[in-house]
């Protein structure tokens, strides 16, 4: 199986579960009696970990802050993935979900000024020996770094398949990427329209990509290319599960399929099935609860 290089922003996700059986006497706020707390990789780190769980060799290029949360996140990622770390600043991004009641975010987690210089040599070495690249942008700055973008543009020119999973706060993909994978809302933010095919074609022109796969949640995805009819791929029906992370599963499955030489339409079909299976298994929450031995392959 050919390896995949993942480039993007690492986050730490924390799931806190418990019972709510009372409220505070002063303000009537729900009181969560915590029964469990689980940490898991988030953002691009989740995309890398999901790929590794499926048996794909993964190298992950990211920025990490030198704080306690950053060290814990590095431990989680390095169970399964070869990690290339550049310096981060602003504190590790930690997103804590409180039993469906609220989410608490803290940290900025941006690349430090010398991030690109720090990862340049190992990034180029990885690009020379990889089947495909997944840029998993979470809007924190890794995908916007000039050194990283120059290396990715060189990979596109060299014919390496590049999947770009964008973020509303992130930059446009480097020109010529194999497939960009905005969800429908992200695509409409770039090129207003109604139907996925219409919006996808406008995004294709705006970003100068070879193809755009607009993901539509439980409805699947629509692939548009410069030549030929659009390809609509329906998602298998699944019940239950946490859809958080489904986009990461889709983009990772797409990159893995392209690394193995599948044509783009077949790779999108594989990615839709892969994401649906991820949600059907319980999504990100179930992924976090699997034993470390399973996560490390």
How many of the other CB atoms lie within 10 Å of CB of 213?
A: 33
- Among 33, 248, 260, 266, the one annotated catalytic: 248
Give the residues across from 100 on adjacent strands.
none
Distance, in Å, from the CA atom of 77 to the CA atom of 17, rounded to the nearest integer, reads: 22
Distance, in Å, from the CA atom of 75 to the CA atom of 231, rounded to the nearest integer, reads: 40
CB 137 within 8 A of CB 166: yes
9 is catalytic: no
CB 149 within 8 A of CB 174: yes
36 CA to centre of own chain: 25
**Which residues are catalytic, by number?**
248
């Amino acid at each position: 199986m050919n390896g995949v290089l993942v480039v993007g922003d690492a986050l730490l996700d924390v799931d806190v579960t418990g019972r709510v059986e009372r409220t505070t006497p002063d303000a009537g706020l729900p009181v969560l009696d915590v029964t469990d707390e689980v940490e898991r990789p988030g953002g691009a780190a989740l995309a890398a970990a999901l790929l590794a769980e499926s048996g794909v060799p993964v190298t992950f290029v990211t920025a990490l802050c030198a704080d306690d949360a950053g060290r814990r996140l590095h431990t989680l990622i390095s169970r399964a993935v070869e990690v290339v770390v550049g310096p981060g600043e602003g504190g590790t991004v930690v997103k804590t979900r409180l039993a469906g009641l609220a989410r608490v975010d803290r940290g900025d987690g941006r690349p430090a000024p010398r991030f690109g210089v720090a990862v340049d040599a190992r990034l180029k070495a990885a690009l020379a020996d990889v089947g495909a690249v997944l840029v998993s942008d979470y809007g924190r700055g890794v995908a916007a770094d000039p050194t990283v973008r120059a290396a990715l543009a060189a990979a596109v020119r060299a014919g390496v398949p590049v999947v770009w999973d964008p973020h509303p706060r992130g930059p446009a993909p480097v020109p010529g990427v194999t497939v960009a994978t905005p969800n429908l809302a992200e695509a409409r933010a770039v090129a207003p329209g109604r139907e996925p095919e219409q919006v996808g074609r406008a995004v294709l022109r705006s970003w100068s990509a070879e193809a755009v796969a607009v993901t539509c949640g439980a409805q699947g995805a629509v692939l548009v290319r410069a030549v030929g009819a659009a390809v609509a791929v329906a998602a298998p029906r699944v019940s239950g599960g946490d859809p958080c992370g489904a986009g990461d599963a889709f983009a990772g499955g797409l990159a893995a399929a392209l690394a193995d030489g599948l044509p783009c339409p077949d790779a999108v079909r594989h990615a839709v099935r892969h994401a649906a299976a991820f949600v059907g298994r319980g999504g990100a929450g179930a992924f976090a609860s699997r034993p470390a031995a399973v996560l490390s392959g």
